[in-house]
Structure 1
């Protein structure tokens, strides 16, 4: 059984950073999904893929995986680059993108 340990990214529908500071251990899918012939729903016999465990730190998640003999892969999040720009920079006369006037 393989698991991924990662820190979730910010949802596009959120304006804040809630629930992005905790680390999540999520199990990978073992068996393929099947289509139920009567209703057409997709189902699987693997219930571990529905399980998400959250931890305060990456070390806690790794320690849990080692303690329970779970193969794991740690995915380190990319730090976002902040580009601080003022609104008045849109109207500067010394802009780099082409030579234009307003």
Structure 2
């Protein structure tokens, strides 16, 4: 059975905004990974690991996985902590 993870991809460290952070992705796990004898690269006979499917909601992604008999794991996003700061706080302590 095909295994997959459903999650919201994180932004890289150079991005600070929250725009376009609402897409849920199904990413398939690599199965039967091995080493290519000619080049020495990691290889797999399963090409699902190269495929990422995007959905607008977690429920749509889970429904797609259930409909296509994909064993999946949902990874919930961590809540972002925001600390409100004031410029004046630099001089009050």
Global fold match (TM > 0.5):
yes
- For structure 1, which segment, 71-80 or 40-49, has the greater mean C-alpha deviation from structure 2 after superposition? 40-49
Deviating 4+ runs (over 4 angstroms): none
Aligned 1:63-74 pairs, distance under 5 A: 63-74=63-74
- Distance in 1, matches of 2:33 and 2:24, equals 26
Gaps of 5+ in 1: 96-102
Alignment coverage as a number of residue pairs:
92
**Structure 2: gaps (5+ residues):** none
Residue 19 of structure 1 deviates from its aligned partner by 3.6
Alpha-carbon RMSD across the aligned residues, in angstroms, is 1.6
TM-score by length of 1: 0.80
- Bigger relative CO (Cα 8 Å, ≥ 6 apart): 2
